Amino acid sequence: MTIDLSVSVGGIRLKNPVIAGAAEHLIHAEGIRAALSTGVGAVVVKSNNEVEASKDQLERSEYTLLDEHWRQVPWNDAAPRSVTLACRSGMSPLPFDQWLEQAVRLDREAKKQDAYVIASLILGALEPAVAMARQIEQAGIRVMEFNVGVPYGSQTAKGNVATELSTEGIREQVSAIRSAVSIPVWVKTSGQSERVPALAGAAFESGADAVIMAGRLLGFLPDPETQKPLFGTSLGVGGFWHLPITCHWLAMTRKALGPDRPLIGINGAQTGSDVLRMMLAGASAVEIASSIMYAGFPALARAVEEVSGYFIDRGENAAAIIGRAADEHRTFMQMPRGDGNWRNYVPADALPASEG
Ligand X SMILES: Cc1cc2nc3c(=O)[nH]c(=O)nc-3n(C[C@H](O)[C@H](O)[C@H](O)COP(=O)(O)O)c2cc1C
Residues contributing to the site for ligand X (CB under 6 A): 21-24, 46-47, 85, 87, 89, 120, 122, 147, 188, 215-216, 236, 238, 266-269, 288-290
Q: How far is the CB of 4 from ligand X (least distance, A)?
A: 25
Three-state SS at 145: strand
Of 3 and 301, CB closest to ligand X: 301
State which residue has the least CB distance to ligand X: 290
* CA distance linking residue 122 with residue 152, whole number of Å: 11
* CA distance linking residue 298 with residue 354, whole number of Å: 58
**Amino acid letter, 206:** S
Of 88 and 261, CB closest to ligand X: 88
φ/ψ of 58, rounded to 5, equals -65, -35
* CA distance linking residue 254 with residue 258, whole number of Å: 5
Q: How far is the CB of 147 from ligand X (least distance, A)?
A: 4
Of 46 and 142, CB closest to ligand X: 46
Asked if residues 51 and 124 have their Cβ atoms less than 8 Å apart, the reply is yes
Q: How far is the CB of 292 from ligand X (least distance, A)?
A: 8
Of 197 and 238, CB closest to ligand X: 238
**Amino acid letter, 121:** L
Please state, as a whole number, how many other Cβ atoms lie within 10 Å of the Cβ of residue 301.
17
Of 273 and 317, CB closest to ligand X: 273
Q: How far is the CB of 225 from ligand X (least distance, A)?
A: 25
Q: How far is the CB of 177 from ligand X (least distance, A)?
A: 14
- Alpha-helix residue ranges (DSSP H) falling in the chain: 29-36, 52-58, 96-112, 126-139, 167-180, 196-205, 243-257, 272-280, 291-295, 297-314
Of 24 and 209, CB closest to ligand X: 24
Q: How far is the CB of 163 from ligand X (least distance, A)?
A: 12
Of 125 and 312, CB closest to ligand X: 125
Of 48 and 206, CB closest to ligand X: 48
* CA distance linking residue 242 with residue 237, whole number of Å: 9
Asked if residues 48 and 120 have their Cβ atoms less than 8 Å apart, the reply is yes
Q: What is the dihedral of CA 157, 163, 166, 170, to 10 degrees?
A: 110
Q: How far is the CB of 166 from ligand X (least distance, A)?
A: 19
**Amino acid letter, 39:** G
**Long-range CB contacts for residues 130-136, cutoff 8 Å, separation at least 24:** 130/176, 130/177, 130/180, 131/50, 132/48, 132/49, 132/50, 132/96, 133/177, 133/180, 133/181, 133/185, 134/180, 134/181, 135/96, 135/100, 136/100, 136/103, 136/181, 136/183
Closest among 45, 7, 48 to 210, alpha carbons compared: 7
Of 95 and 356, CB closest to ligand X: 95
Of 21 and 282, CB closest to ligand X: 21
Q: How far is the CB of 299 from ligand X (least distance, A)?
A: 11
Q: How far is the CB of 96 from ligand X (least distance, A)?
A: 14
Q: What is the CA radius of gyration of the chain?
A: 21
Q: How far is the CB of 346 from ligand X (least distance, A)?
A: 34
